[in-house]
C-alpha cells in the first residue's frame, strides 16, 4: 500500500467520484465541487502567470509609452468588453465583439475552405484506383460512400426512384459511420476506467505489479 499522502488523497477522491455509480450522495457532490473549484483556480492562475502578466502587464509597466504602446489596444478592447456590465455603456461591447469576429472569421474562413473543404474534395477525387484489390475496393467504397452520403443531404428534390435508393444508401453510410464512432467512444471510456483501476490497484493498494 502506498505511503504517499498525495496518492491517498487521489484514491479517496476517485472512490468518491465512483460512489455516484451507486447513487447520488454528499461525498460525490463534495468531489464534484472540488474539481470545479480547483480547475477554475488553476486556470485563472495559469492565465495570470503565463499570459496576463508576462504578455500584457509587464511589457506595459516597462515601456507603456514606448515600444510596447500598441498593447494599450488590447487593454482598450478589454474595457469595451467590460462595458457590457454598465447600463449606460452596455452597447459599447459590440465594438469589441465586432473586432473579435472580424479577426476570427478572417482567419478561419479561408483556411477552413482550403484545409477542410477543397483539400478533402481533391483527396476524394484523386483516390488512387490501383494497388492491391483490397486497397482499390477501399477507395471505391470511399468514393461511393461519400457520393451516397452527399445525396442524403440533397433536400431540394423529392427522395424517390433511383435518387431515393441513393439517399437510402446514404443513410446506411451515415449509420455505419455513427456506429464506428460509437464503438470508438466505448473503447475510449473503457481505457479511462482501466487507468483509474490500475491507479487504485497498483499505485494505491499495491495489489498488482
Partner 1 sequence: MKLSVALQKLNALDRRWIFIGVFVAVAVPFFIPVSFVAEPTPTTLTFDRALGEALNRNQPIVLDVDFGPQTMAEMEPLLQAVLHRVFQSKRPVILLTFMTESAAPLRTVLARMEQTYQLRYGQDYVFLGYASAYAYTMHGLGTSFGNYFHADDRGTPIEKLPLMKNVHSLRDVSAVVNIASNSFPKFWIQYAVTPFDIDFLAGTTAVQAAEYFPFLQTGQLKGLLGGGRAAAEYETLLLRSGVLTRRGDATRGLGSQSLALLVILAFIAIGNVGWLAARRAGRTS
Q: Which residues bind partner 1 (CB under 8 A)?
A: 21-22, 39, 42-43, 46-47, 50-51, 54-55, 104, 107-108, 111-112, 114-116, 119-120, 122-123, 127, 142, 177, 180-181, 184-188, 190-198, 201-202, 207-208
Nearest CA to 96 out of 113, 114, 79 is that of 79
Distance of closest approach, residue 107 Cβ to partner 1, in angstroms:
6
Considering the complex, state which of residue 29 and residue 58 has its C-beta at the smaller distance from partner 1. 58
Minimum CB distance to partner 1, residue 112 (Å) = 6
Give whichever of 54 and 164 is closer to partner 1, judged by the CB atom: 54
Q: Measured from the CB of residue 160, what is the shortest distance to partner 1 in angstroms?
A: 30
Give the residue with the Cβ less far from partner 1, 21 or 162. Answer: 21
Q: How far is the CB of 11 from partner 1 (least distance, A)?
A: 14
Residue in the structure block whose three cell numbers are 445525396: 151
In this structure, what DSSP letter does residue 118 have? Answer: I
Indicate the residue among 69 and 113 with the shorter CB distance to partner 1: 113
3-state SS, residue 65? coil
Distance of CA 22 to the CA centre of its chain: 29
Which residue lies nearer to partner 1 by CB, 48 or 163?
48
DSSP string, 125-189: HT----SSHHHHHHHHHHHHHHHHHHHHT--SS---HHHHHHHHHHHHHHHHHHHHHHHHHHHHH
Residues with Cβ within 8 Å of 77's Cβ and at least 6 positions away in sequence, in order, are: 96, 99, 100
Least distance (Å) between residue 29 CB and partner 1: 19
Amino acid at each position: 500500500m502506498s505511503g504517499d499522502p498525495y496518492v491517498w488523497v487521489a484514491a479517496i477522491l476517485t472512490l468518491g467520484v465512483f460512489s455516484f455509480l451507486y447513487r447520488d450522495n454528499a461525498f460525490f457532490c463534495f468531489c464534484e465541487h472540488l474539481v470545479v473549484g480547483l480547475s477554475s483556480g488553476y486556470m485563472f492562475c495559469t492565465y495570470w502567470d503565463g499570459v496576463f502578466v508576462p504578455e500584457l502587464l509587464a511589457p506595459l509597466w516597462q515601456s507603456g509609452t514606448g515600444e510596447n504602446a500598441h498593447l494599450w489596444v488590447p487593454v482598450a478592447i478589454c474595457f469595451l468588453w467590460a462595458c457590457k456590465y454598465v447600463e449606460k455603456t452596455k452597447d459599447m461591447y459590440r465594438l469589441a465583439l465586432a473586432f473579435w469576429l472580424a479577426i476570427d472569421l478572417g482567419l478561419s474562413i479561408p483556411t477552413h475552405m482550403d484545409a477542410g473543404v477543397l483539400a478533402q474534395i481533391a483527396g476524394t477525387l484523386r483516390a488512387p484506383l490501383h494497388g492491391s484489390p483490397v486497397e482499390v475496393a477501399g477507395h471505391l467504397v470511399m468514393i461511393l460512400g461519400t457520393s451516397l452520403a452527399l445525396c442524403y443531404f440533397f433536400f431540394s428534390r423529392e427522395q424517390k426512384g433511383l435518387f431515393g435508393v441513393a439517399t437510402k444508401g446514404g443513410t446506411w453510410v451515415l449509420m455505419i459511420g455513427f456506429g464506428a464512432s460509437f464503438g470508438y467512444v466505448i473503447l475510449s471510456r473503457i481505457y479511462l476506467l482501466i487507468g483509474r483501476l490500475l491507479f487504485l490497484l497498483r499505485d494505491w493498494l499495491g495489489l498488482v505489479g
